[in-house]
């Protein structure tokens, strides 16, 4: 019996890799309630079958890092929607396809901006978010948040799997899913390399993480003294930031379309580039990358043309609310001034931010 998913797949020109990936998807489908297996940083599950497409159990006691990553995986469905977890499976399967080219040509990012794709099966989808997903071209194909969300997470390997309604959604989206799966390989590579590291570090160093990830005893070969020290030190550094002479500067960061906000300590960074990198990792889709980094050293001012580049180059921009209550574009002022005046940050849609540009550039011109 072939699930509807495969049926949909066959409509497209078939290829070995596609079938392979769909087979693996099929096996997941057949799993029904996906068996939760612990996955350690090596990608081995408890049963030590490295080829096993197992998922990570979402245990509440998971390390802070993985919880955060879970939170960053923006679920566009209603809170409580189970769509995101499915991603892990798809990602895992697709990770075996690393070397294979995507079957389907990637559409240009803005292809479906303001798409006419039917918004069916959508629970409170915020289109904006799916558009913004960096490099994830599946948003072109579907406005279905469930499928999008499935494909998004870079940190999915950390996330718990819940058996769920994904399967139903999957099966009803055959046309979408095939493309989704096909494109996965292009995205998976960076993800896979990032995640084991995150997993590894947290599992190696965070002694508070209960044994949800099956750790290999004595690996990596670091002296336990060092391991314990680093674990303590990293915890303390987080506390310490609040106690240090320069007290921590936690500001909220919201992102349009995301149900969760984040908080960062601005004192952890010393330049816009660092902040943007961190936010990029946090939100997995944000491309402030160029913000501030084009500026001349020490000044980090955005010119009007660069600002336009920025806005056209990505769907989202980073803005902040300053002491006066004004919403400003991040990157205009020197970093030190920025952290003094920033009250909170918001990642807003490019379209909303256009209005800021002249004012921001004006303000920066005034400072010259």
Partner 1 sequence: MNYFPDEVLEHIFDFVGSHKDRNSVSQVCKLWYRIESYSRQKVFVGNCYAIGPERVAERFSGLKSITLKGKPHFADFNLVPPDWGGFVYPWIEAFARSRVGLEELRLKRMVVSDESLELLSRSFPNFKSLVLVSCEGFTTDGLAAVAAYCRQLKELDLQENDVEDHRGHWLSCFPESSTSLVSLNFACLKGDINLPALERLVARSPNLKSLRLSRAVPLDVLQRILIRAPQLLDLGVGSYLHDPDSENYNKLVTAIQKCKSVRSLSGFLDVAPHCLSAFHIICPNLTSLNLSYAPGIYDNELIKLLRHCHKLQRLWILDCIGDKGLEVVASTCKDLEELRVFPSDPYVGQAAVTEEGLVAISRGCQKLNSILYFCQQMTNAALITVAKNCPNFVRFRLCILDPTKPDAVTQQPLDEGFGAIVQACKDLKRLSLSGLLTDQVFLYIGMYAEQLEMLSIAFAGDSDKGMQYVLKGCKKLRKLEIRDSPFGNAALLMDVAKYETMRSLWMSSCEVTLGGCKALAKRMPGLNVEIINENDQMEFVGGCDDDRQKVEKMYLYRTLAGQRRDAPEFVWTL
Give the nearer residue to partner 1 in terms of CB position, either 202 or 287: 202
Single residue of 79, 218, 298, 325 touching partner 1 by CB under 8 A: 218
What CA–CA distances, in Å, run from 322 to 228, 288, 307?
A: 40, 18, 19
Show the tokens assigned to 286. 């944000």
Q: Which residues contact 270 (CB under 8 A, 6 or more apart)?
A: 335
User: Closest separation between CB of residue 193 and partner 1, Å?
Assistant: 7
Show the tokens assigned to 164. 């769920």
User: Closest separation between CB of residue 132 and partner 1, Å?
Assistant: 20
Q: How far apart are CA 228 and CA 41, in angstroms?
A: 18
Task: Tell me the window of 3-11, 81-89, 230-238, 325-333 that interacts with partner 1 (CB under 8 A).
Answer: 230-238
Is 174 in contact with 4 (CB distance < 8 Å)? yes
DSSP state of 214: -
Show the tokens assigned to 98. 């690393």
User: Closest separation between CB of residue 364 and partner 1, Å?
Assistant: 24
Single residue of 93, 129, 136, 269 touching partner 1 by CB under 8 A: 269
Task: For residue 261, state whether it binds partner 1 (rule: CB under 8 A).
Answer: no
Task: For residue 1, state whether it binds partner 1 (rule: CB under 8 A).
Answer: no
Q: How far apart are CA 144 and CA 120, in angstroms?
A: 7
Task: For residue 43, state whether it binds partner 1 (rule: CB under 8 A).
Answer: yes
The closest of 245, 350, 250, 341 to 291, measured between CA atoms, is: 350
Near partner 1 in 75-104, by CB under 8 A? 99
DSSP state of 39: B
CB-based burial label for 1 (10 Å; 0-12, 13-18, 19+): exposed
Q: How far apart are CA 22 and CA 90, in angstroms?
A: 9
Single residue of 9, 92, 204, 339 touching partner 1 by CB under 8 A: 204
Task: Tell me the window of 25-33, 128-136, 165-173, 270-278 that interacts with partner 1 (CB under 8 A).
Answer: 270-278
Task: For residue 197, state whether it binds partner 1 (rule: CB under 8 A).
Answer: yes
Contact letters for partner 1, residues 274-313 (x by CB under 8 A)? x--xx--xx-------------------------------
Q: How far apart are CA 156 and CA 184, in angstroms?
A: 13
CB-based burial label for 60 (10 Å; 0-12, 13-18, 19+): exposed
Task: Tell me the window of 172-180, 224-232, 297-305, 338-346 that interacts with partner 1 (CB under 8 A).
Answer: 224-232
Give the nearer residue to partner 1 in terms of CB position, either 50 or 110: 50
Give the nearer residue to partner 1 in terms of CB position, either 214 or 361: 214
- Chain residues that interact with partner 1, rule: CB under 8 A: 41-43, 50, 65, 99, 193, 196-198, 200-202, 204-206, 216-226, 229-231, 233-234, 236-237, 240-241, 243-246, 267-271, 274, 277-278, 281-282
């Amino acid at each position: 019996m072939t699930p509807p998913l495969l049926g949909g797949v066959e409509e497209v020109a078939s290829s070995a890799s596609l079938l392979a990936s769909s087979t693996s998807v099929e096996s997941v489908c057949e799993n029904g309630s996906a068996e939760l297996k612990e996955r350690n940083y090596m990608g081995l599950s408890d049963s030590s079958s490295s080829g096993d497409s197992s998922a990570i159990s979402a245990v509440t006691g998971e390390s802070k890092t993985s919880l955060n990553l879970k939170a960053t995986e923006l679920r566009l469905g209603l809170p409580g929607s189970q769509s995101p977890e499915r991603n892990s499976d798809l990602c895992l399967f697709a990770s075996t396809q690393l070397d294979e080219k995507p079957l389907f040509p990637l559409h240009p990012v803005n292809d479906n901006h303001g798409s006419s794709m039917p918004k069916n099966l959508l629970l409170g989808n915020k289109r904006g978010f799916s558009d913004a997903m960096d490099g994830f071209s599946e948003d072109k194909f579907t406005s279905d948040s469930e499928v999008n969300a499935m494909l998004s997470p870079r940190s999915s390997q950390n996330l718990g799997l819940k058996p769920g309604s994904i399967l139903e959604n999957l099966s009803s989206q055959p046309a979408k899913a095939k493309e989704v799966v096909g494109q996965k390989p292009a995205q998976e590579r960076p993800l896979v390399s990032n995640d084991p590291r995150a997993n590894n570090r947290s599992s190696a160093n965070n002694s508070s993480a209960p044994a949800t990830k099956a750790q290999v005893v004595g690996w990596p070969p670091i002296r336990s003294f060092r391991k314990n020290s680093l674990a303590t030190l990293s915890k303390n550094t987080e506390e310490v930031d609040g106690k240090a002479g320069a007290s921590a500067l936690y500001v909220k960061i919201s992102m349009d379309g995301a149900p969760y906000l984040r908080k960062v300590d601005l004192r952890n960074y010393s330049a816009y580039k660092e902040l943007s990198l961190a936010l990029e990792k946090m939100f997995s889709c944000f491309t402030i990358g160029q913000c501030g980094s084009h500026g001349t050293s020490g000044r980090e001012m955005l010119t009007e043309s660069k600002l336009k580049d920025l806005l056209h180059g990505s769907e989202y921009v980073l803005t902040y609310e300053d002491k006066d209550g004004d919403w400003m574009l991040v990157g205009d002022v020197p970093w030190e001034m920025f952290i003094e005046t920033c009250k909170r940050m918001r990642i807003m849609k490019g379209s909303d931010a256009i209005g800021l540009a002249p004012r921001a550039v004006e303000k920066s011109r005034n400072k010259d």
